[in-house]
Structure 1
Amino acid sequence: MTYRFYCLTSVIALTAGIAQADTFNRIASFPTHLNIGAGDQAVETSAEIIAATADGMTLVYTDSPLGAIGRIDITDPANPAPLGNIDMNGEPTSVGIVGNVAFVGVNTSESYTAPSGRLAAVDIATGAELASCELPGQPDSIAVAKDGSFVAVAIENERDEDLGDGRTGQLPAGALTLVQIADGVADCDTLINVAMTDLAAISPEDPEPEFVDINAAGDVIVSMQENNHMVVVGRDGAIKNHFSAGTVDLDGIDATDERAALLFTESQSGLPREPDAVKWIDDTHFATANEGDMDGGTRGWTIFNADGTVVYDAGTSFEYAIIQAGHYPDKRSDSKGVEPESIETATFGETPMVFVGAERASMVGVYDVSDLSAPVLTQLLPSGIGPEGYVAIPSRNLLVSANEVDLIADGGVRSHVMIFEYSDADATYPMITSAGADSLIGWGALSGLAAVDDSTLVAINDSFYSYQPTIFTVDVSVTPAQIIAATPVTRAGYPAQLMDMEGIAVDGQGGYWVASEGRIDRNVPHAIYHVDADGAIDQEIGLPNALLGVQKRFGFEGITLVGDTLWVAVQREWEDDAAGLAKLVAYNLETGEWGAVHYPLETPATGWIGLSEIVAQGDYVYLIERDNQIGANAVVKQITRVSLDQMVPAPLGGDLPVVRKEIVRDLIPDLTSTGGYVLDKVEGLTFTPNGTAYVVTDNDGVDDHSGETMFWAIDGLDN
């Protein structure tokens, strides 16, 4: 079973200018630390595997760092409320629900060589443990039968990746455990252990069952990720079928890590699918998320018939759609790309659907699988960082994602559970995409905007892609906005390095002025560049001594042209600036003279506050002023303006006049308008000639970031 996939255009149905109805949109995000209640919330929490009660009113998720299961009241799904955590006296790895009882796999292993665990039955309302069955090893995934009659547990007994080059062949072997449910709780006396040895061609002595699911007929499908094998087991424990998950050849991928560029020109052949999550679509077909582990990961997903035949394989199409949405995680290129890990299946209305979660891209692909041989990708949904588990609740038109990454230790965003509603509405995401381009365009880390005309903008990427600085042409006459071209920025015919593009302005003659933020600790200068229409740098303006002597790390963040003068916003205070005052630096193109004024920053409650953009419009310059906080800690994300009559530069090195600013837009309501948390970096602002303002956020190249890019228009801002 080997399939080859070439560079294909995306099959996503979100074509430019076509409104979508019957779509999913995110309506709420719940940070899991809220379930701690009155305790110390500055500790790591995580939402991993998630399930819902039969009435769809309560969610239960596993929280491995806390050793607990968390509960959320979604009676009002747009306003989820914490119901608290239940201590599991071990590491919860998976959860399923029958009635009001949660069945939880709990890992209690002392070591890799002495694995152990238990299956706990917990009253969801009271937290009381109703039963506990000792398991023959370390549980990874569990599933409950649709009729509530039994539970299947994948006993992985995972390997120690620091031994034997991280390969399989480390005993004890994993297995499958089946436990009957009686009177609503697990009947431990009925436990059946199903051996999985001597089935796979890869490490047959060391099966590592990863994920399980049960269809309406009571058949259990088991993925053995490291063994690249699938097993179908009857409810009586008899093995009905087993087969290799097969291999795939991929062309047109980025398979090189850490080169700070999106280049989809490589190939890999004979890649084992190595499926992680698996879910039945119906009684004879199931879908796998091909994350990969030891040798594989095919960046996509597959539909299998229970007899082992492949009905459909996504090849590169799923990853390509994610690339076009700006969510490609470049630092994972040499590993598994977008890393599909999770699968959920459900029928909404009359449409059977498969939901595919890309762990490293933090996206959910929504597929219409009415035709199993030709699924249609109808949507891509933004998730929190590291979507690990999903639960669909068709009776309430809801989809829920559990996102495991919590960056509290680094001052970043918390783990979230996100809720999406299926309704007769237009899709709100993605807001900008390259799906309309003639060729595949990868993009991310957008850091500046400028308007060419009423329907065309240009955007730039920052130093995250330091070997691929690019000017993107954006068509804003369609929804979502379309990146239709990518112009490399070059120096002497090669990609321009040692620059960090943070601001761009049109020069009125087909070219651009670009502000580059330096890294003086890396010998990267703060500078202004002129770039021609073809992307070639033809002029560099370095800093004068009066600025070189006081420069600091956080430098040029925006640029605009007023008459013959370029104005550049310096993000934060430099050595000669008083606290709370940042420079707006002027350079006269005719005389070569430098000058500046001071801009008064807000006082930060936490972290720092600085400038991210400057753009002239009418009688004002408009600026983005923001703190460096994310999520609930964000306070200042705003657009301000200063009248041009105050923008009279004084000579450098002396006292600078302090301009008066006017706050014209609090951006936090905009940043929460799609049900997500407040993103950190609002980076770009521009005005079209007709006065429409556009704003964009920087997604940090999908590195410790959800990858979400918000791009939206504001009318009347310049009134």
Structure 2
Amino acid sequence: MKKSAIALAVGVALSGLLAACGGSDDGPVDIPSVSNPGKFFNRTATFAVCAQVGSSCEDSTPTAAEIVAASEDGMALVYTNSLKGEVGFVDITDPAAPKGLGMLAMGGEPTSVTVLGGHALVAVNTSANFVNASGKLVVVDMAKRSIVTEIQLGGQPDSVARSKDGQYVAVVIENERDESLNKGALPQAPSGYLTIVDTVGAPASWKTRKVELQGLAALYPEDAEPEYVSINDDNVAVVTLQENNHIALVDLPTGKVTRHFSAGAVTLTQVDLTDAPRPNSVNLTETQANRLREPDGVAWVSKTQFATANEGDWNGGSRGFTIFNADGAVAYDAGNTLEHLVARIGHTNDKRSDAKGNEPENVAFGRFDGTDYLFVASERSSVLAVYDMGQKNQPVFKQVLPAALAPEGVLAIPSRNLLIAASENDDRATSSTLRSALNIYQYQNAPAAYPSIQSANRADGTPIPWSALSGLAAAPTGSVVYAIDDSFFRGNRIFEIDTSAKPAKLQREIRITDPSGKIAALAAVLPAAKDANAFDATDLAALVNADGSVNLDPEGIALASGGGFWIASEGSGTVGEAARPVLSANLVFKLSATGVIEDIIQLPAEVNAKQQRFGFEGIAESGGKLVVAFQRAWAGDAHPRIGVYDLAAKTWQFMFYPLDAVASPNKGWVGLSEITAVGNNRFVVIERDNQGGPDARVKKLYRIDLNGVADGATLSKTLVRDVLPDLRKTHGLVVEKIEGFAVLANGDALLVNDNDGVDENNGETWLHHLGPLNLN
């Protein structure tokens, strides 16, 4: 029976709520009620900031969107681009089709922006160095996009806010520390403070007042390090002093500090604090006692309460958010729930496990259709967590939203049912996927579109952590598929996913193990090493952990006809290249249904002698044979190989696959990422380039037919589907690595991408239901 849209939406929300509450989704749990259960935020567009430089984003000049504000009517955005010393303007009259309106030089580094009437007020850092700090508030005519006046601030500004009644602007003067001096240790003069701007009359006549913040905190009292400011309806500013782990309240009419208090500490349990040796694995089993909150972003949620994003900096970071009463009492703390949420949806950045985890960077608040919502932006996991604030002191998790890499500024525009997040990271020169962007979400009568996969709980009540899905295989009946994680993680696993659930439910993990020493036994059949960089017994030993789990690079998975799985593990290194020594060969593993290695198949020695670092990317079984796809051509080959292994005869044959030409303006390469049997000795392969975002061009499914093809022949291919339009339907930046394809028994074709373990990646994983395809 089909679920109604509302029922489906409620199911998504409650399923996600379990993640935030840490409760099991395999049993009953008390769930607080939520308002507007049929309405959710969904991404409607992503505006790449590089479009302001060139409409097709073919310029590699780094850009950034750090803090964002909206015109009073909500029809235009202004954002800070610190890398270029500019602010940019975007028309969002149609939020599904944002249009760049150009940029304006600020004569320094813009750090924050707000809007008052027809003016954008931009905080600009003009400091010569960390000791000689200076800055200004630049008043910009929004309509003309021109500078009206500049107000000197005397120090380096970092955050700006305006009062609801328009009488005051508060500017945080951080005077940030030099992190290269004495390893960034505090104190470092000059101290920071707060500047109040009285907005009486024309901007040129506005006056400033200075509010000292020295001597308030117990930590480094002589060096106040204010970070962020928010103003409530009573014209009280709350200021976070991040490195001081302190919070101050300032009455703007009088300029007096009326209250100040420590942000306090949190003891976190069931978190992952280890990332070495890299790559490691996510284990939510550790405890971190008395971790200082060190809040960054702050937002009032009422006249008497405010929320902080506890990013951390020098000594802390509690990996969540806190609701404080104005008297300093903690009304609510998120504890480990945000860490569990990102683990459940595949967004844990394991390289930050020993630091500050997901790093909540900022918070925003808004009332949409009568419901109060809090939005928490995670910098390292690149998501926004949305909480229903309808019940006092009890935020209820509603949903999670994907964002481009490293969201920094968050803006609610309730009058237009819009939410904006500014993601600042941009590095086209060294990465094919990282482009700074404005993420635009709309509050709508529709189920939540993200996540597309989320995990069930382990026995200890923590979510099954997962990421870096690199292959896909469908069960012969029903809606279950199997996926694998790749070499980013130690202790490789197979994941069982029920795709009939919305979102799909990652319900079981199967760890790959080698209790019988099959990997070590390969040492006896290795060819004699020709040079110091050759694959040897030492390299074999590194593939197995003390507990018998393995460190492979599983890139392809298929169900074995006799039970269990076939795994294609990509080799590491290039023969003859000293900078990339061969640390492992391309190997096929036969696993039992419980993940135990039963057999290992190697390539012929003459093929191994050609090894390049781009090897096995997919595996399929059909008609008593295994078929493996190589990603790109090896030494001396014109095309990548399709290897066919006869399971009975134990012999190899190789055909060659002709790739599409490179079409991206960012160049790069095109290769294979998957192979799937579709019957009658026919197979579907994923062919893709290594480009993402505006640079993506080749994302295709092709069919090949091996019937009657001779050993050494070049194959012909037939286009099944160009999936680039499917990838764009997420309204985000196009993902680079589509690496898994499977067809369910009912004909539904599935496509999934690899998120690189959230390493220089925003972490989005999309399981696309493509529907029935013509595979004949």
Q: Please, what TM-score do these two structures have when normalized by structure 2?
A: 0.88
1:500, CA displacement in angstroms?
A: 0.3
In the TM superposition, what is the alpha-carbon distance from 1:133 to its structure 2 partner? Answer: 1.2
Structure 2 equivalent of residue 10 of structure 1? 20
Secondary structure at the counterpart of residue 745 of structure 2: coil
Q: What residue is the counterpart of 2:378 in the other structure?
A: 358
What residue identity is the alignment partner of 1:694?
L
Residues 491, 551 of structure 2: 8 Å contact kept: no
Q: Which residue of structure 1 lines up, in the alignment, with residue 14 of structure 2?
A: none
In 1, the alpha carbon distance for the partners of 2:58 and 2:757 equals 32
Distance (Å, rounded) in 1 between the aligned partners of 2:626 and 2:78: 55
Say whether residues 1:269 and 2:289 are aligned partners: yes
Contact 2:622-2:679 at 8 Å conserved across structures: no
Residues 368/265 of structure 1: CA separation in 2 closer, same or farther (3 Å cut): same
- CA deviation profile, 1:316-365 (whole Å, cap 9, x unmatched): 01111111010000000111000001100000011101000000000000
2:564 is the counterpart of 1:511: yes
What is the distance in 1 between the residues matched to 2:22 and 2:202? Answer: 43
The AA in structure 2 aligned to 1:243 is: F
2:490 is aligned with 1:479:
no
Partner residue in 2 for 1:459: 483
Please name the residue that 1:395 is paired with: 415
In 1, Cα distance between equivalents of 2:770 and 2:58 = 39
User: Which is further off, 494-503 or 375-384?
Assistant: 494-503
How many residue pairs get aligned? The number is: 701
Structure 1 residue 394: Cα displacement: 0.7
CA-to-aligned-CA distance 1:5-33 (integer Å, 9 cap, x gap) = xxx953389989x9962001101011112
Per-residue CA deviation, residues 141-173 of structure 1 (Å, 9 max, x unaligned), is: 010111111110111011111223322211111
Whole-angstrom distance in 2 between the partners of 1:20 and 1:660: 51
| Counterpart residue number, 1:528 | 588
How far is the alpha carbon of 1:692 from its aligned partner?
1.7
Q: Tell me if the contact between 1:367 and 1:375 (Cα under 8 Å) persists in the aligned partners.
A: yes
Query: 1:653: which partner in 2?
Result: none
Matched, 1:36 2:94: no
Cα distance in 1 for residues equivalent to 2:369 and 2:23: 19
> C-alpha separation between the residues in 1 aligned to 2:344 and 2:171?
38
Tell me if the contact between 1:565 and 1:587 (Cα under 8 Å) persists in the aligned partners. Answer: yes
Shift of 1:618: 2.4
**CA shift at 1:256, angstroms?**
1.2
Corresponding residue for residue 375 of structure 1:
395
> Does residue 1:558 correspond to 2:618, yes or no?
yes
Note the 1:170-319 alignment, pairs <5 A.
170-183=188-201, 185=203, 187-188=205-206, 190-235=207-252, 236-259=254-277, 260-319=280-339
Residue 663 of structure 1 aligns with an amino acid whose one-letter code is: L
SS in 1 for 2:288: strand
Q: What is the identity, as a one-letter code, of the residue corresponding to 1:426?
A: P
The residue type equivalent to 2:632 in the other structure is: R
Residue 454 of structure 1: how far off its partner (Å)? 1.9
Q: 1:311 to 1:335 in 2, by over 3 A?
A: same
Give, in angstroms, the shift of residue 643 of structure 1: 2.5
Aligned positions of 1:115-134 closer than 5 A:
115-134=133-152
Q: Unaligned regions of 5+ residues in structure 1, if any? A: 1-7, 651-655
Q: CA separation in 2, counterparts of 1:71 and 1:307?
A: 39
Aligned to 1:688: 744
One-letter identity of the residue aligned with 2:79: Y
Spell out, residue by residue over 1:381-433, the C-alpha distance to the aligned partner (whole angstroms, 9 max, x if none).
00000100011111111001100000122133210111001100011110011
1:501-525 residue CA offsets vs partner (Å, 9 max, x unmatched): 0000111333100000001324211
Pairing partner for 1:490 from 513, 520, 541 = 513
Q: Within 1, Cα distance between the matches of 2:270 and 2:202? A: 51
8 A Cα contact 2:71 2:142, kept in partner: no
- In the alignment, the residues of structure 2 paired with residue 37 and residue 703 of structure 1 have an alpha-carbon distance, to the nearest angstrom, of 27
Check whether the contact 1:513–1:530 (CA below 8 A) recurs between aligned residues. Answer: yes
- Counterparts of 1:227 and 1:639, CA distance in 2: 54
Distance, in Å, in 1 between the alignment partners of 2:202 and 2:345 is: 45
- 1:700-715 equivalence runs, <5 A: 700-715=756-771
Matched, 1:414 2:430: no
The whole-number CA distance in structure 2 between the counterparts of 1:79 and 1:642 is 38
Is 1:107 aligned with 2:131? no
Q: What are the superposed Cα offsets for residues 27-73 of structure 1, whole Å, 9 maximum, x if unpaired?
A: 10111122235898321100000000110000000000010000000
Match of 1:600 among 643, 654, 658: 658
Residue aligning to 1:145: 163
The partner residue of 2:686 within 620, 624, 627 is 624
User: Secondary structure in 1 aligned to 2:429?
Assistant: helix
* Secondary structure of the corresponding residue to residue 600 of structure 2: strand
**Percent of counterpart pairs with the same letter?**
45
Work out the CA distance in 1 between the residues paired with 2:694 and 2:723. Answer: 14
Distance 1:171 1:300 in 2: 30
Q: Given that residues 436 and 483 in structure 1 are in contact (C-alpha distance below 8 angstroms), is that contact kept between their aligned partners in structure 2? A: no
Partner residue, 2:525 = none
Displacement of 1:435 in angstroms is 4.2
Cα distance in structure 2, aligned partners of 1:186 and 1:241: 32
Q: Is the 8 A contact 2:479 2:745 kept in 1?
A: no
Match of 2:529 in 1: none
From 34, 46, 65, the counterpart of 2:83: 65
Q: Which residue of 2 aligns with 1:640?
A: 702
Is residue 612 from structure 1 mapped to residue 673 from structure 2 by the alignment? yes
Task: Name the counterpart of 1:548.
Answer: 608
Deviates more, 1:412-421 or 1:52-61: 412-421
Q: Is the contact between residue 512 and residue 550 of structure 2 (CA under 8 Å) also seen in structure 1?
A: no
Q: In 2, are the aligned partners of 1:98 and 1:144 still within 8 Å (CA)?
A: yes
Equivalent position of 1:4 in the other structure: none
**Structure 1 Cα separation of the partners of residues 720 and 653 of structure 2:** 26
Partner of 1:431: 452
User: CA separation in 2, counterparts of 1:66 and 1:455?
Assistant: 49
2:341 to 316, 321, 334: 321
2:466 is equivalent to residue 446 of structure 1: no
Query: Is contact 1:179–1:187 with CA below 8 Å preserved after alignment?
Result: no
Aligned mates of 2:38, 2:22 — CA distance in 1: 15
Q: CA deviation at 1:184?
A: 5.3
Distance in 1, Cα, partners of 2:409 & 2:19: 28
> Contact (CA 8 Å) 1:25, 1:421: kept in 2 or not?
yes
Residue 577 of structure 2 is matched in structure 1 by none
Question: Would you say the 8 A contact 2:112–2:123 is kept in 1?
Answer: yes
SS in 2 for 1:408: coil
Runs (4+) off by over 6 Å: 12-16
Task: Please tell me whether residue 589 in structure 1 is matched to residue 589 in structure 2.
Answer: no
Q: 1-side partners of 2:192 and 2:625: how far apart?
A: 70
The answer to whether the 8 A contact 1:12-1:376 is kept is: no
**What letter corresponds to residue 545 of structure 1 in structure 2?**
A
Query: What is the deviation of 1:136?
Result: 2.2
The alpha carbon displacement at 1:614 in A equals: 0.4
Name 2:12's counterpart in structure 1.
none
- Alpha-carbon shift at residue 222 of structure 1 (Å): 0.2
Instruction: Answer yes or no: is the 8 Å Cα contact 1:437–1:484 preserved in 2.
Output: no
Do the aligned partners of 1:567 and 1:587 also contact (CA within 8 Å) in 2? yes
Residue deviations 1:239-297 (CA, integer Å, cap 9, x gap): 11100000000111111123321111111101110000000001110000000011110
What SS is found at the alignment partner of 2:260?
strand
**Residue identity in the other structure for 1:596:** F
Q: 2:733 aligns to what? A: 677
